[in-house]
Amino acid sequence: MPYYRSVGEVPRKRHTQFRQPDGSLYAEELVGQEGFSSDSSLLYHRYAPTAIVAAEEFTPPTFSRVPNLPLKPRHLRTHKLDGTGADPVLGRQYLLANDDVRIAYVLADRPSPLFRDATGDHCLYLESGTLRVESPFGVLDAVAGDYVVIPTSTIHRLVPTGDEPVRLLAVEAAGHIGPPKRYLSVRGQFLEHSPYCERDVRGPDAPLQVDGEDVEVLVKHRRGWTKYVYANHPFDVVGWDGHLYPWAFSIHDFEPITGRIHQPPPVHQTFQGPNFVICSFVPRKVDYHPDAIPVPYNHHNVDSDEMLFYTGGNYEARRGSGIEQGSISLHPSGFTHGPQPGAAERSIGVDFFDELAVMVDTFRPLDLCDAGTACEDDGYAWTWARKG
């Protein structure tokens, strides 16, 4: 995470005696990336975080993947997946995936179980609703438009908190997700040209200190899933400090980078992950050259697949293609894509785009998953052949 935080009670020096009111030692837990060679946080538990009383294999909901064949652009209508609701972890419906990242959607109306993903970070985007993210670090409250980044192996629970269900896009990485390196100093501070900074980032501000015994936690790991029963509740932390913790950032705090002529997608980059990036398209002033064409030019990303989740406003380049709230477009490597017919001409003279979208560009091909196939608009690929 970009900056250091200290929450709750911690001793003045690391790895020194820190005693509870009854005289016993608090139990330290160092959570760190890349062995002991990268970001970490040090947590202080009332009980041993290693104490389990049972472990058994767990069978999660499954999904299948098929290649994008024939190779063509796809349009997925996520709101067609609406059912009676589910929990925001086990209820995820997987749309697209490769060996680096899995992209899922869920309409959630109930709390998730306690869950730990030991295979990679999660970046959650709230399309609508309100959500409480509980973890040993404390609570993060999220609202529509928030990204929430949950580091690898963080035990957490996702709790919808409003009267309406939560609509959630989940990006699950096979590695770590963070701000683009080009926006950070060598010491991790956001630089002046970054479209967001530390003031925009929220972290937990108080430990939960939950009591409980024989607490179940589902763990996804490199060999499958296991259900542990912990002797004591893992949210028993009295304090922690460090750089590694769940954090939230609102897409509405992303400051767009604009220019006289059309700016390419890297200016919208918000996060980077292993072999993929996440970008934010937000309402913004657009190109101010007198002869500018504000919508994107036709382009062929020879190294990446482009997935775009439409989450608000009016996406000018896709008018007439059937794109709607909650739509996902997939434009694969090997296909030249661009604005819909007539969009370039219509955009001339426009000085503001009122659009909100989340883009995931992957550097390995994305496969289609069961739920993606189930909500596909089969006519999308042919919309460029229509007259504008």
Positions marked active-site? 262
Region at 23 (left for phi over 0; alpha for psi -120 to 50; beta for the rest): left
What are the b/e assignments for 97-124, b being 16+ CB within 10 Å? bbebbbbbbbbbbebbebbbbebbbbbb
Contact 185, 81 (CB under 8 A): no
* Helix, strand and coil in the chain, % to nearest 5: 10, 40, 50
In eight-state DSSP terms, residue 242 is E
197 within 8 A of 247, measured Cβ to Cβ = no
CA proximity to 294, closest of 245, 367, 343:
343
| Distance separating alpha carbons of residues 142 and 20, to the nearest angstrom | 33
Q: What is the enclosing helix (H) or strand (E) of 123?
A: strand 122-128
Nearest Cα neighbor of 242 from 186, 297, 188, 180 is 188
Closest CA relative to residue 151, chosen from 65, 307, 239, 43: 43
Give the Cα separation of 24 and 192 in Å (integer).
47
Q: What count of other Cβ atoms lies within 10 Å of the Cβ of residue 168?
A: 25
DSSP 182-236: GGB-TTSPBPTT-SS-GGGEE---S------EEEEEEEEETTEEEEEEEEE-TT-
Q: Which tokens hold the place of 17?
A: 């005696």
CA gap 132, 160 in Å, rounded: 6
